[in-house]
Amino acid sequence: MTLNITYLGHSGFLFDDGKHVLAVDPFLTGNPLARHKPADIRCQYVALTHGHGDHLGDTVAIAKANGATVIACWEITEYLGEQGIQRLEPGNPGGRIVTDFGWVAFTQAYHSASFEGRYMGNPCGLVIQIGGATVYHGGDTGLFSDMKLIGEIYRPQIACIPIGDRFTMGPELASKAAEWIRPKVAIPIHYKTFGLLRQNAEGFAPAGVEVKELEPGQTWRFG
């Protein structure tokens, strides 16, 4: 098992298995905490949880520069097609897309999704199998009890869980989410980027789950 996980800040990550790089929610331009610029990103794939600007981020520039395939819900891929992105893998909750690194499955997320007034489809969570590991990325979401089912079905070792409050769960509900999903490691996301969000991970302390706080720009080797 080889998986290098680079936190881009906010909800963004690079997952690198040594042969393939998948970027998730690469929001760099306008992210005051980001250490990477869009031109720094080398990837074959981009996967998106939903169409809000702080998740779609620099996807168009990154996908064009890399000739990357974008994995996202149907409405987002329609939008990206209009922006000139050619390699698109549309999906929706319940479905799974098999790739050459593994697969990406879409789960529900309890949230909204529009961009510049346009409907961007269902917000999603993603379950990603890469580098021999299974990772759940919750996207932006409130707490919902089917997170237990996500844990039961996919058994992710790693869960990236929004804790910033206001637009998603805060630390207390996010702790409950992690206890329901039961990963080995939970990575807090979607906090401290803006003044409206919680500024630290205090209170995110799920029982029986290791919390791994990553700094933007930090790479952590899993496994």
Residues interacting with Mn ion, by CB under 5 A?
52, 54, 140
- Residue 197 CB, shortest distance to Mn ion, in Å, is 9
User: Residues 187, 213: contact at Cβ < 8 Å?
Assistant: yes
- Select 52 or 192, whichever has its Cβ closest to Ni ion: 52
- Residue 104 CB, shortest distance to Ni ion, in Å, is 19
Residues 80-109, one symbol each (x = binds Ni ion by CB under 5 A, - = not), give ------------------------------
- Select 52 or 137, whichever has its Cβ closest to Mn ion: 52
Residues 138-167, one symbol each (x = binds Ni ion by CB under 5 A, - = not), give --x---------------------------
User: Residues 223, 131: contact at Cβ < 8 Å?
Assistant: yes
- Residue 53 CB, shortest distance to Mn ion, in Å, is 8
The verdict on 52 binding Ni ion (CB under 5 A) reads: yes
- Select 49 or 134, whichever has its Cβ closest to Mn ion: 49
Q: Which of Ni ion, Mn ion, none binds 17 (CB below 5-8 Å, type-dependent)?
A: none
- Residue 190 CB, shortest distance to Ni ion, in Å, is 8
Rounded to the nearest 10 degrees, the angle between the axes of helix 147-154 and helix 171-181 is: 40
The verdict on 17 binding Ni ion (CB under 5 A) reads: no
Give the residues lining the site for Ni ion (CB under 5 A): 52, 140
